[in-house]
Structure 1
């Protein structure tokens, strides 16, 4: 009878809270001498990383940092930031990694809203931290990361990160959370509309994300991973924990350029890396003299705005194997993948690239991904044309927004997380994003996908990057306006590019205005469309 099956209680022998912290202890025990981290002239084995993490955690605990406290970090992708992904939560505290490109006002807001008790900051960002303190009218304790390979900056703390290491206890008790639902990290959204929201991650979600990623990516044991994804962004897609699980060698990189990426691949035998589509574009457009020939395929996860098929094809031609993934800060990063299908092997490179640009199906740890009608909540037909909103359920969805119950309830309305992304579902079940819902251009009653228009612009040989937003128009309500970065030396004109579009798409979809400019980007390489929308509105006001 059922009662006999339910008679057992949870015991320490058969129920352990899931946490990615456990990966480090195992890897350090099984592969102590393997190289864990490489950064410029620094090398650390897994045994050394384990000891450094315990030393730092012990010093943080001695400073009074404990369960529920927030520790804020402003740092580049250096070994210190990697170690803090374990050291901070090891004390029971919550890790808050802050976007290093943010201005002092937003940093001040995050420090205040997150209830930060301690700041650990690379000296390159000391001025931003000082200005944030001044704006808040209060100063927090600071630990400096003094990176000799960085641009320098003032010391503003009482001690350095290496002081924590030197004075810490190498035998500090290793303990996980009492409850896997406890907060692990606090990540703030980009804040493109209003103040950024604080997204709370739990230990269970980070553990399952780390378990699901190797299955989805066919990640082998001991990959050599180039950390081009900023670790402040969704905790670097959780790869700090995933690569620890897989006993990888993590190559840290402070400044991402095409030449640096190619150099590190050649120097360290990099096998895997991740990045937004702008990273792919950067690799494709790296001058020939700055490239090194790949002696083996390098696998890339790319996520962000849907990458143009032309960029995917060009990246593949260089020897990179790219998999498109999709996710949000609220889902710990990637939870949907464009899983390759055998029947695609015989297609042309152009057709393959087009399919690769789809977002795809859920990761193994994702409970469900669907596309629903926003009004009725009913799933849209799998016809590749009916648009709806992507919704997600699973253990890698955030706990909620910190100190924002109203936004949390709105995000979870209907029993799933509402992404805000407009998409279709193809007959094979694969999801394809058409737009952010706020980026759909409605012109004369017709919906225009900015992603579709951008894809056409990227086919032009002189276009390096393109972004399309709505331009207010008296007659049509809105029309497409394109902002374009041309390749160096190009003499292409607005009329010429519009003529090119005329050959590729319906008249109502064509950009009515093209602006040649450097596109504003976030630190993760995403194009800041809200800035472009403001510029488009300014253009409209000037001509009205």
Structure 2
């Protein structure tokens, strides 16, 4: 029976008075109308109010339209976490265009590929990126309009474009009458996956998903009105997990930083009274390692959201001991960032610090705005038992799953097969319903027919007091097929031999899981903190 066949479908229509497509753009208009003089953005000497930030976003939108940008066009940006990057999250979609924020760590060929694949009309770029961007532009058949962010606090680089960002804003109208999307399914942003196995894929977000995930972030974290958020997470990464829009939703403060350096971060946390930040486990490790005297004066609670790689329980414990409240989340580019959160259960309050840290290291349960989460059999799509042991693939569905991959219908269909998004991550489901990642499907080590979770081995190694960083990958072996190979970085001034590591492992895990090769080396990580295991696999191949 359709809605029109019952009394609730008669003369109760969707009209302008009772329906408007969801879009996170409404958040900045609300913040500016309620708190026009309250601080919205902090960056060095720059301090801008919500009224000024909204005005500048409208100038950007107007200038883009006057330059011929139309609905559905792509505007790319390659920039650190600067105020201009924050403004672009509003100004670009206000023009009707789609925002494409590019990873600042990419090489020129990858940047050129993204700009051409996205059919970018405009590129906003910071001087620090000029070396890579200039090479990328030289590889392109059609050059977009290039606008330079000319940050006076940064020395180096060169201007590549027709004008600076400030000159471009001067072309706009601060009273620009922007319109939200006619359809909340319209694209708002385009994010590219890492591309470690071929060209990166373009993940398309819609206004509805961006709106809902922004709200979901605030609900998951209990973010209060006027929260102060430190930008330790790259804005290019899943649009900063949608936090530009979340900060606007709570009328908060964005504390921007060009570079993530532990001492400077600690200074900003104390100076600006930062109460929320996101970061990969490596960022947490950096903060834990700050000298004790620099932590003095930190007398307020700071909530930390971490993901990117399963954080070692020891790192979570170190943050908790400093007074930071850690929340573990999990997600992918395809799910707008966090779609799973390790929601705290009050029943755990009386547990030991070590046990609480172990519980927090799990990925958790679905976020408030996620409709479906399952650990299931990848063939039958049936849930695995909630026994904490049976491994299955993580599947999601709902409004915070991407529209699909740009210009890639085959891969889109495959990823949505059976009515679920296939993550490719392997996990178990515990009796309480919380999921825990065991590995990427490609990272499971099959040794003599036995499955070995690289994450489980890494967790054990991380607990050793002399080990600062570790990653485990498969290494080929004539007898066993594959064996674990561990890459380890020690804390400053610590010393360990390969034999000592093996002895420690044998005392703390099943013998067949013990790494057969130990390599002491700094780990290659992406700008979002993920270990580049494809590089480690190549290194392991050279070691075998």
Same structural fold, with TM-score higher than 0.5 when normalized by the shorter chain = yes
Cα distance in 2 between the residues matched to 1:539 and 1:341: 45
Q: Tell me if 1:493 matches 2:497.
A: yes
Contact 1:19 1:176 in 2 (8 A): yes
1:270 matched to 2:289? The reply is no
| Distance in structure 2 (CA, Å) of the matches to 1:128 and 1:535 | 26
Residue 490 (structure 1) shift: 1.4
Q: Note if 1:5 corresponds to 2:8.
A: yes
Q: CA deviation at 1:289?
A: 4.2
User: 291-300 vs 191-200, which deviates more?
Assistant: 291-300
Report what 1:446 is aligned to.
Answer: 450
Whether 1:294 aligns to 2:326 is no
* SS class of match (2:474): strand
2:508 is aligned to 504
Contact 1:262–1:292 (Cα < 8 Å) also in 2: no
Separation in structure 2 between the aligned mates of residue 292 and residue 110 of structure 1, nearest angstrom: 45
Residue in structure 2 matched with residue 426 of structure 1 by the alignment: 430
1:207 aligns with 2:233: no
Whole-angstrom CA distance in 1 between matches of 2:415 and 2:291: 44
Name the structure 1 match of 2:133: 129
1:464 matched to 2:468? The reply is yes
For residues 55-75 of structure 1, the C-alpha deviation after alignment (integer angstroms, 9 at most, x for no partner) is: 111111111111010011100
Q: Deviations over 1:328-385 (max 9, x none)?
A: 0000000111011111111111111110000110111000100001122110000000
Superposed CA RMSD in Å reads 1.1
Check the 8 A contact 2:42/2:48 in 1, yes or no. yes
Residue aligning to 1:355: 359
1:96 aligns with 2:92: no
Q: Which moved more, 1:144-153 or 1:330-339?
A: 144-153
**2:523, 2:273 → 1: CA distance?**
32
CA distance in 1, matches of 2:62, 2:140: 29
Structure 2 SS opposite 1:167: coil
Question: What per-residue deviation string (whole Å, max 9, x for no partner) do you get for residues 146-188 of structure 1?
Answer: 1122342111111111112233211000210111000000000
Which of 132, 142, 146 is the matching residue for 1:142?
Answer: 146
Matches within 5 A, 1:213-362: 213-362=217-366
Give the Cα–Cα distance (whole angstroms) in 1 for the partners of residues 35 and 529 of structure 2: 34
Secondary structure at the aligned position of 2:183 is classed as coil
Q: For residue 370 of structure 1, what is the aligned residue in structure 2?
A: 374
CA offsets 1:456-475 (integer angstroms, 9 cap, x no match): 11111111110100011110
2-side partners of 1:95 and 1:406: how far apart? 24
Q: How far off its partner does 1:293 sit?
A: 4.2
Check conservation: 1:467, 1:527, Cα contact below 8 A: yes
1:160 equivalent in structure 2: 164
Alpha-carbon distance between aligned partners in 2 of 1:150 and 1:99, rounded to the nearest angstrom: 19
Question: Given that residues 360 and 431 in structure 1 are in contact (C-alpha distance below 8 angstroms), is that contact kept between their aligned partners in structure 2?
Answer: yes
Give the whole-Å Cα distance in 1 for the aligned partners of 2:504 and 2:412.
44
CA contact (8 A) 2:66 2:172 kept: no
Map of 1:38-117 to 2, 5 A cutoff? 38-117=42-121
Match among 395, 402, 406 for residue 391 of structure 1: 395
Cα pair 1:469 1:532 within 8 Å, conserved: yes
Tell me the residue number matched to 2:522: 518
Distance 1:129 1:473, change over 3 A: same
Shift of 1:318: 0.9
Matched residue SS, 1:142: strand
Residue of structure 2 aligned with 1:455, choices 444, 456, 459: 459
1:263 touches 1:292 (CA, 8 Å); kept in 2? no
Of 487-496 and 296-305, more deviation after overlay is shown by 487-496
Q: TM-score, normalised by structure 1?
A: 0.98
- Gaps in structure 2 of 5+ consecutive residues: none
The alignment of Structure 1 onto Structure 2 pairs a total of residues equal to 540
Alpha-carbon contact 1:308-1:357 (below 8 Å) kept? yes
C-alpha deviation, 1:476, in angstroms: 0.4
Does the 8 A contact of 2:304 with 2:324 survive in 1? yes
Q: What residue in structure 2 maps to residue 476 of structure 1? A: 480
Any idea what SS the aligned residue of 2:437 has?
Answer: strand
C-alpha contact 2:445 2:483 (8 A) present in aligned 1: yes
Q: In 2, Cα distance between the equivalents of 1:469 and 1:103?
A: 25
In 2, the alpha carbon distance for the partners of 1:167 and 1:375 equals 56
SS of 2:529's partner is coil
Residue 136 of structure 1, CA deviation? 2.4
Distance between the aligned counterparts of 2:283 and 2:442, measured in 1? 25
* Contact map agreement 1:274 1:300 (CA 8 A) in 2: yes
Distance 1:397 1:28 in 2: 29
SS in 2 for 1:136: coil
1:18 corresponds to 2:22: yes
- Which residue of structure 2 aligns with residue 539 of structure 1? 543
Q: Distance between the aligned counterparts of 2:427 and 2:239, measured in 1?
A: 26
Residues 55 and 165 in structure 1, CA contact (< 8 A), matched pair in contact too: yes
Instruction: Please give the secondary structure, in 2, of the residue aligned with 1:350.
Output: helix
